[in-house]
Amino acid sequence: MLFFDYLKNLDTHINFLKKKIKDKHTLFLVWWCVRDLLLGIEKKPIDIDFTMSGEPKTLEKLIDKTGMSFFMTEKFWTMTLIAQPIQSIKSKVKSQNTSTNSKSDLMDIGLDGPSTIKYELTPLRTEGDYNDSRHPDTINRSNDILLDSQRRDFTINCIYYANEQRKKEYTPLLKDKHIIKYTDDEIFLKKLDDHGYLLIADLNLLIVQDHTHIKKLFDDGMYDDKHLMTMLKSVTLFSLEKQPKAKSLKPKAISIIIDPQKGIQDCIRRKLKAVWDPDKRFIEDALRIIRALRFVNVLNEKIKINKNPWKSTKIDEKISLFDFQKETWNSLKKNHALVKNVAKERIKEEIMKAFTDGNPFGFVALMDEAQLLEHLFPALYATKNIEQPIRYHPFDVYAHTLLTLFELQKINKNPLVRLAMLYHDVGKVDQFGAYADNLSKEEIRAILAGPLNHRRSSPEYAKKDFKALGFSSKEIADIARYIAHHHTPEEMIFAKEENKEKKVRSFFSEAGYERAMNVLDIAMADRLGQYNPLQNSSDISDVDDIRKILKKLQKEEWQFTMKELCIDGWDIMKELKLPAWPAIGKLLQKTLDWVMTDIKWRNNKKQIVGFLKIQLKHLK
């Protein structure tokens, strides 16, 4: 069962926008703000897409921009309105009465707190061909909601929601009608398929899928109350929770779902289905191939997190997750090579959404099945069938990597840390490729000490591939740093007991608390991802011991860096009577390493100067 009652939360946004845009055409909310409420994974959306008839330039002039940020893309006619929190509304509004009304309106849509709400208005339109596999060559104005729906990507994304004031008394038309208790999705859908429209009486919500009725109900983009009266004479009534009497139905407004592509059926049956011909949809815009994977992945994760069975009827208690309609999936795989035409920044955006809000393990597995892995993560793709020493890893590098990602996502939600896990072993392709039969220990050591060691080469592959995906320099540096340090916890674990805290303190000083904890999460997932009974890889107590030391240091000492030394480079030159000298930096680093062994007693100028005099003899 869908959460039709959640749609009522959109009415305040519709009323707010109607005050902002005084136009006679009907205003429809559409896209994920409708879809996610129906699926029960959202209750109060702050990202609202809407559409309506009318010329863009005319609509722009009609918008009251008080308390709003506004901008418009000339090419695609999309207008963005950002409603700022009440406290940030500029005091330049002259009329006190106007200011008060503006605040009241903003409170109605939930802006009495610190958040902002973004509205995007894209007027109803049709589109020409997409010769660049990303943007339409031409955009044409249209007041036809049916034509607008045909240009969209997936059926679950083109469900339109409107709220219209009651203009005539229609209660007598519903009197004595039989009301069907909503206890079965298939019965509900059969009635909807048979008649093309029905009314959920409890919510006063009319659902219309029949194209003829849609055309007449919103001819030229304007609501026709007379045609509604005609429809209600033969409408089928459903009830969600109770058996309302027709005479009690005296609503001030009627809510209407316009669903020309039968997205409700696909929401209930959990199918991602392209609108009309899937080949055409993916050839038009190849980004839809990746978005399809992200939609399924993220929606399923949110459905699992937000499990909330319909309380009144106790139906739909089993979690049902999304899958692809067969034709859509086959088309997606067939057209996989088209992603090469997509701007890297758009691909990166989809990856980050999946790695932040979805199931990264499942997303990568879907990418692999859809033959996208080679295009997007080539270094990871190269790890397939690269076998590892069985005593450490019973799987090839690729399988091990996915298993580590599966373990990491349970404990760490940082998308950059998750992406680092994805690339932590990609350098093993070169490292293992350099191995040969009967290598001596010296030859193996030479490989491990050189650039082919995966601890050194994996970060370089990450820099190359993530740059090609449009990641920023800072993001790439963070990913590469996590990869380079993914074996650092082992060095701390196997250190002598008397040196263990010193090594942890040194790493804490270099990386900081959050990054150090992230590296420990990577080390833990790397261990668990071995699934190797010979190594007892499920025992992570030694990693936990390092975590306890790190927490202790964070609590007692915080992050001790070179800035916290009671001496600096100028002091060294003064105390030791030295000129400006490149070795000053080396002396500072040696001092830091020495002090961190016992910060409390060693971090004073007298002891440090004595230590440096000894070090200076060695340098000379």
Whether residues 204 and 63 fall in one domain: yes
User: What is the CB-side half-sphere exposure of residue 81 using CA atoms within 13 A?
Assistant: 22
For tokens 């270094």, what's the residue? 379
**Overall residue count recorded for the chain in this entry:** 620
3-state SS class at 73: strand
> Tell me, what CATH number does 440's domain have?
1.10.3210
Report the C-alpha gap between 396 and 384 in whole angstroms. Answer: 7
pTM exceeds 0.95: no
- Per the DSSP assignment, residues forming a β-bridge with 618 are none
**Pair 524, 543: CB distance under 8 Å:** yes
Q: Which range, 2-11, 313-322, 385-394, has the best average confidence (pLDDT)?
A: 2-11
180: enclosing H helix or E strand: strand 179-181
At residue 82, φ and ψ (nearest 5 deg) are -115, 115
Q: Give the model's pLDDT for residue 111.
A: 59
Average pLDDT over residues 529-543: 84
Q: Give the model's pLDDT for residue 102.
A: 61
Whether residues 110 and 146 fall in one domain: yes
Flag the least confident range among 81-95, 286-300, 301-315, 358-372.
81-95
Give residue 323's domain range: 274-372
Last residue of a domain, one of 559, 578, 602: 559
Flag the least confident range among 300-309, 392-401, 572-581.
300-309
- Is the pLDDT assigned to residue 443 strictly greater than 60? yes
* Cβ-Cβ contacts under 8 Å for 446 (sequence gap 6 or more): none
Q: What are the tokens at 168?
A: 């005539």
Last residue of a domain, one of 372, 393, 426: 372
Confidence of residue 251 (pLDDT cuts 50, 70, 90): low
At residue 529, φ and ψ (nearest 5 deg) are -75, -5
Average pLDDT over residues 444-454: 83
Instruction: Characterise 64 by phi-psi region: left (phi > 0), alpha (psi -120 to 50), beta (else).
Output: beta
Q: Where are the alpha helices (DSSP H) in 93-161?
A: 96-108, 145-150
Q: Give the model's pLDDT for residue 464.
A: 98
- Is the pLDDT assigned to residue 161 strictly greater than 90? yes
Whether residues 572 and 518 fall in one domain: no
Between CA 383 and CA 392, with CA 389 as vertex, the angle to 5 degrees is 100
Whether residues 312 and 411 fall in one domain: no
Whether residues 161 and 125 fall in one domain: yes
* Number of structural domains found in the chain: 4
**Pairing verdict, β 125-127 and 179-181:** unpaired
Whether residues 506 and 434 fall in one domain: yes
Percent of the chain with pLDDT over 90: 64
Whether residues 432 and 577 fall in one domain: no
Q: DSSP string covering 313-374, please?
A: T----S----EE-HHHHHHHHHTGGGGGGS-HHHHHHHHHHHHHHS-HHHHHHHHHHTT-HH
- Read off the pLDDT of residues 558-582 as tens digits, 9 standing for 90 and up: 888 888 889 888 888 888 888 888 8
- Per the DSSP assignment, residues forming a β-bridge with 181 are 239
Flag the least confident range among 190-199, 311-320, 476-485, 608-617.
311-320
Report the C-alpha gap between 548 and 541 in whole angstroms. Answer: 10
Report the C-alpha gap between 268 and 588 in whole angstroms. Answer: 65
Whether residues 235 and 322 fall in one domain: no
Q: Give the model's pLDDT for residue 107.
A: 64
> Tell me, what CATH number does 342's domain have?
1.10.110
Whether residues 83 and 194 fall in one domain: yes
Report the C-alpha gap between 452 and 602 in whole angstroms. Answer: 40
Average pLDDT over residues 371-399: 92
Q: What are the tokens at 584?
A: 């000053």
Q: What are the tokens at 524?
A: 């833990």
Whether residues 551 and 569 fall in one domain: no
Last residue of a domain, one of 319, 349, 372: 372
**243 against 584, higher pLDDT:** 584
Q: What are the tokens at 281?
A: 């949809």
Mean pLDDT of the chain: 89
Q: How many CB atoms lie within 10 A of CB 280?
A: 13
Q: Give the model's pLDDT for residue 199.
A: 95
Q: How many CB atoms lie within 10 A of CB 471?
A: 23
Q: How many CB atoms lie within 10 A of CB 36?
A: 20
Flag the least confident range among 72-76, 212-216, 243-247, 462-466.
243-247
Nearest Cα to Cα of residue 162 among 196, 124, 132: 124
The amino acid at 175:
K
Confidence of residue 243 (pLDDT cuts 50, 70, 90): low
User: What is the CB-side half-sphere exposure of residue 421 using CA atoms within 13 A?
Assistant: 36
**Pair 266, 295: CB distance under 8 Å:** no
Q: How many CB atoms lie within 10 A of CB 194?
A: 9
Whether residues 100 and 222 fall in one domain: yes
Q: Give the model's pLDDT for residue 1.
A: 86
Whether residues 77 and 173 fall in one domain: yes
Q: Give the model's pLDDT for residue 461.
A: 98
